[in-house]
Structure 1
């Protein structure tokens, strides 16, 4: 009899009784705030923690001297005075017409940089800022060269 009692207790213990309620999965992370909707502090943090590391990697892979890229590399004096104004007159000034740009791009170094900027920088920055890249064929989009560069007057 004692054997059956021990066996019954062991069997009941093995069954474990009631199971704890399964926890509900955590709620999904909120969608990231669009750059245009961020306040100044959020923008600074986003630029420092997301944009700068991503673009530093992109630029340094193209031109190793950009391994030391920092806020001033793009924002110039605006990084020092805290305005972070863009476009920056301290970046290369671009031609202001398609004809002048075609002439500009005949220079091999300008052509190399233009290809890099159009194929890598512009789409990556547009994506990071949650903006549609400019499409020269349709003349539509929210982010183009002129978001960062000034043009000839």
Structure 2
């Protein structure tokens, strides 16, 4: 009986790790000679247009072609795309509640959470060659969204 309890406990402790997307590795973004953190503004703009935009457009439109038919810079960057600041996180995107591993969002919008964790985070992390997921990742929910209760 003790062995069964240990297996159950281990499985329960592993759930948060399984819920988030896999973790990527830091490196140089594909098609670039410079890591994202060292790119100047023009290199970043070029990389976003050549690599990030087509990849993310495919991910979002693959999920919901009608909702994301007009996918573009403003989809993620909001007004920052129009004024050239491209500031992130974007306060115009839904504010997320991270408590209990985003329980509220997993309950209300499970398909969107799955899309974000399993497709968006990995695609963005890989496109920028940044680690992604929960914990000390360089790219996470908080890269795009304002996130509350991150320590709960």
Does TM-score exceed 0.5, indicating one fold?
A: yes
Question: Does the alignment pair 1:41 with 2:42?
Answer: yes
Say which structure, 1 or 2, has more relative contact order (CA 8 Å, 6+ apart): 2
Q: Residue 95 of structure 1 aligns with which residue?
A: 97
Contact 2:53 2:73 in 1 (8 A): yes
Per-residue deviation, residues 34-61 of structure 1 (Å, max 9, x unmatched): 1111100111111111101110011000
Structure 2 gap segments, 5+ residues each:
1-30
Question: Does the alignment pair 1:126 with 2:125?
Answer: yes
TM-score by length of 1: 0.71
1:5-24 matched pairs, under 5 angstroms = none
Contact 2:97 2:104 in 1 (8 A): no
TM-score by length of 2: 0.71
- Counting matched residue pairs gives 118
Q: Distance in 2 between matches of 1:62 and 1:126?
A: 18
Structure 1 gap segments, 5+ residues each:
1-29
Q: What is the Cα deviation at residue 67 of structure 1?
A: 3.0
Question: Does the alignment pair 1:151 with 2:147?
Answer: yes
Q: Which has the larger radius of gyration?
A: 1
Q: Residue 81 of structure 1 aligns with which residue?
A: 83
CA RMSD of aligned residues (A): 1.8
